[in-house]
A = this chain, B = another copy of it.
């Protein structure tokens, strides 16, 4: 298999973008990535687009053709594929793009993620989010996504003495990071007190424990590593791309507070990259809820199982800490336009490994990891990158 590299990355603003349509967002992200790579659109051989639920959000399927069309690439008749794995759709698009290059089928493709969530009311968006878990055995009985993560949080608290304050620290940290991210939905700090005083969504999770509904799109240009230097002096190499599944419903899991899909994908990724968790310089992980980040940093091997809360409280995952997590601001502060998130994480990593992340920069970052899950962990996808 050939080595694969990223030679360009771009993202739209994330947020409530009333004035911009799904197709506008997709094209804007793609153009930013292309411009960043310094390539011509005609060099693109295929598109891979991650999207969770345009069918329900904007009554539009056939997203692959739509994007190719509005990107002006339909005239070249290039293959355009939509990948879906709920909130992990973005990373799934990247996984397929990596495969398409590693295999030798293509030399230069685009992986993108897009979601336009705010054209429906927020009640509806909540209902739509629940389509990422088991409609028949969870949703129909009243489970929502926050309520399922609340069960994990409660059990984590009971089992490991994790506190509400420790969870809240995830939100505080990620908002502090996002102050320096011009593409984040919320570029302001929040205090521990404000998280703990925010309204309960599903006990023990409060409003500021939850990532937000947003619109957004992100894209990266993926290229055969041996050709990357033709385009850029600072390629970012894809050292691992690993995907794993688990039961779609939480109640069927072996363990409610270990995401076995994350563990399996991470194990495979570390093997592919011949790396250990301790060698990772920074990570973008899936903090759809504050508890998600605690579980993620445990399951990825950055801290021991059950010590996610303590490590966060001790600042180990802050900028300047032992292993900075979500320097971008994460899903919490960037906003979480479902299918876009997995690629937005990779855009951040690309900037970090190029030493272009400004005040969010992790000094000397050489090895970075992204972690993107679908639903409550029915899918997990882990990528590892080096400069």
- Is there an interface contact between A61 and B84, defined as CB atoms closer than 8 Å? yes
- When distances are taken between beta carbons in the complex, the residues of chain B under 8 Å from A378 are 62, 64-66, 69, 74
- Spell out A's residues near B (CB within 8 Å): 1, 21, 23, 52-53, 55-56, 58-66, 68-69, 73-74, 77-86, 92, 95-96, 99-100, 102-105, 128, 131-136, 139, 243-249, 252, 260-261, 264-265, 374-375, 378-379
The 10 closest A-B CB pairs, nearest first, are A65-B378, A103-B103, A79-B243, A77-B264, A62-B86, A77-B244, A68-B245, A61-B131, A55-B55, A60-B135
Dominant secondary structure of chain A at its interface with chain B: mixed
Quick one: which of B23, B59, B133, B245 contacts A80, CB cutoff 8 A?
B245
Alpha-carbon separation in the docked complex, A375 to B80 (Å)? 14
- Is there an interface contact between B77 and A260, defined as CB atoms closer than 8 Å? yes
- When distances are taken between beta carbons in the complex, the residues of chain B under 8 Å from A131 are 55, 59-62
- When distances are taken between beta carbons in the complex, the residues of chain B under 8 Å from A66 are 134, 248, 378
Give this chain's copy count: 2
Closest to A60 in B: B135
Alpha-carbon separation in the docked complex, A66 to B264 (Å)? 18
Closest to A379 in B: B65
- Pick 8 A–B contacts, CB within 8 A, sort by A: A59-B131, A62-B248, A74-B246, A74-B248, A74-B378, A77-B260, A80-B85, A99-B105
- Is there an interface contact between A56 and B58, defined as CB atoms closer than 8 Å? no
* Closest CB in chain B relative to A252 CB, distance in Å: 7
Alpha-carbon separation in the docked complex, A60 to B76 (Å)? 33
- When distances are taken between beta carbons in the complex, the residues of chain B under 8 Å from A128 are 55
Closest to A79 in B: B243
Alpha-carbon separation in the docked complex, A130 to B60 (Å)? 8
Alpha-carbon separation in the docked complex, A62 to B104 (Å)? 29
Closest to A375 in B: B62
- When distances are taken between beta carbons in the complex, the residues of chain B under 8 Å from A53 are 55, 61
- Is there an interface contact between A78 and B1, defined as CB atoms closer than 8 Å? no
- When distances are taken between beta carbons in the complex, the residues of chain B under 8 Å from A102 are 103, 105
Taking A1-B104, A79-B245, A246-B74 as contacts, is the C-beta distance between A84 and B64 under 8 angstroms? yes
Closest to A378 in B: B65
